[in-house]
Structure 1
Amino acid sequence: MKAGSTKTDWPSSLDDNELDELDMYLRAHAQDSRLLLDGVHGLLSALAVGPMQVLPEEWLPEVLHEPFADEDEGNRVLALLAKLNDSISAELDVDAYEPILGEVETETGPVLSAAGWCEGFSRGIDLRAMLWEKRLADDPPLMELLGPVMALAVDEGILSAEAEFEKLTDEEYDDCLAQLPAVLIAVNHYWSEHPATEAELDALNQASETKNEQPPPPRQRSGHWVH
């Protein structure tokens, strides 16, 4: 995993050793559909810039899937995740957000990949899908702000596009990657200036009450926040 810039500038951020420690823990417990460090950063980034707070007890099940080996391991991993979460808010507060991205090997060497980050971001959107979907449908500027994220997610197969979509060129892909910090900062400002309305929150609460009365649906990974 590589961060877009050094994270040692922030008191609340993980240093390189801590990032490696969390990365190794997530890799050691990785299975199909489980998020690695870049995916966890994408998930927490979506929650940080989203329309309302999502508490740890709701997002931790997206990250942790089995019991800890012991209490010490549990406390350590939870502390690292909390610190990672804090670092995102700290960076957004001063317009200095940088994504943590994965790497893929190519014939010319390793290159940055947004696949894991986009998967995590999509899952973060899903945790408040009703609010996001309604606002994306009602307010085209929000859709425009998220354009580079959507382009990367479609290119990586995380989201499906209704219209025919040509793969991004290497230059276009790199350009979208470069825009991610500005996109996240802009979306964060958007929700601060246009918070969820009382009607939107009422609809979300009603949907949550109905959901709690029914068996949980099968887990979906399609990232249904784009139509």
Structure 2
Amino acid sequence: MSDSDTKTNWPSSLDDRELDELDAYLRTHAQESEGHLLLDGVHGLLSALAVGPTQVLPEEWLPEVLHEPFADEAEGNRVLALLAKLNDSISAELDVDAYEPILGEVDTEAGPVLSAAGWCEGFSRGIDLRALLWEKRLADDPSLMELLGPVMALAVDEGILSAEAEFEKLTDDEYDDCLAQLPAVLATVNHYWFEHPATEAELDALSRADQTKSEPHAPPRHRSGHWVH
């Protein structure tokens, strides 16, 4: 493959300036008490959707990310364009083994260290958007749970998930090892659902569950701007 072909096929990910811009927007509009996702959480959410069993449309995941009306149409178009690019880049990065999770940092006595808390929170919410399919398959196929082991370990360690049995906190080395495994985990889970797609019975159960969802008392979230297609 020539250098020009490599450049052409390499995924178009957000550059540092665009990441900072999206990060700033999310931080400005986040409320910690509401559990709003920041950039690492949004990346975790979109990562779960990218490797999951079925497509999840923007109409379904955008309400997990955006919670207030945009200031104007220009702001809305810009934020949605950045989110669309971030979303598209994940699948493209997985295709060429270039995926890296966007992680947060926490301050410690030894200095700032990487934290998977936000990413794991987002990943968990991404799974929740197709909870029926994930939960049934995890229950029926232990191999999928095994593939997700490093993600589960980080999520339990960070308090995102509760462990059924007593769970010892990860050592620093174990934590770092789980972080290092995330790209491979995403690749193998993506391959798993490609090789073992959701069955008709699983999809029928999901469809029936969607049809029974009705919350007339809950007003829709309002936003200006356009949906990403």
- Using the size of structure 1 for normalisation, the TM-score is 0.89
Q: Show structure 1 runs of 5+ residues with no match.
A: 1-8, 217-227
Mapping 1:1-16, distance limit 5 Å: 10-16=10-16
- What RMSD in Å do the two structures reach over aligned CA positions? 1.3
What residue identity is the alignment partner of 1:17?
R
Structure-2 change in CA distance of 1:22 and 1:213 (3 Å) = closer
Which of 143, 146, 158 is the aligned partner of 1:144?
Answer: 146
Partner of 1:22: 22
Which amino acid is the alignment partner of residue 52 of structure 1?
Answer: T
Contact 2:144 2:189 in 1 (8 A): yes
After superposition, give the CA deviation of every residue in 1:154-180 in whole Å (9 maximum; x if it has no partner).
000000001000000000000000000
Equivalent residue in structure 1 for 2:186, among 184, 189, 196? 184
Cross-structure match for 2:222: none
Report which structure shows greater RCO (CA 8 Å, sep ≥6): 2
- Amino-acid identity (%): 88
Residue 53 (1) aligns with residue 55 (2) = yes
Q: Is the 8 A contact 1:40 1:117 kept in 2?
A: yes
Is the partner of 2:104 in helix, strand or coil?
A: strand
Q: Partner of 1:100: helix, strand, or coil?
A: coil
- Alignment of 1:31 onto 2:34: no
Equivalent AA in structure 2 for residue 44 of structure 1: L
Give, in whole Å, the separation in 1 of the partners of 2:40 and 2:164.
27
3-state DSSP of counterpart to 2:68: coil
Q: 1:214 to 1:162 in 2, by over 3 A?
A: farther
Is the CA contact (8 Å cut-off) linking 2:10 and 2:96 kept in structure 1?
no
After the TM superposition, which residues 178-217 of structure 1 pair with which residues of structure 2 at under 5 Å, given as runs?
Answer: 178-212=180-214
TM alignment of 1:56-205, pairs within 5 A: 56-205=58-207
Q: 1:27 to 1:213 in 2, by over 3 A?
A: closer
Identify the range of structure 1 (205-214 vs 177-186) with the bigger mean alpha-carbon deviation.
205-214
- Write the distance in 1 (CA, Å) between the matches of 2:62 and 2:117: 20
- Length-normalised TM-score, structure 2: 0.88
Q: Which blocks of at least 5 consecutive residues in structure 2 are unaligned?
A: 1-8, 219-229
Q: Which runs of 4+ in 1 moved over 4 A?
A: 213-216
Distance 1:213 1:130 in 2: 19
Q: Which whole-Å CA distance do the structure 2 matches of 1:207 and 1:82 have between them?
A: 28
Alignment partners' CA distance in 1, 2:155 and 2:178: 10
- CA–CA distance in structure 2, aligned partners of residues 81 and 214 of structure 1: 29
Shift of 1:95: 2.0
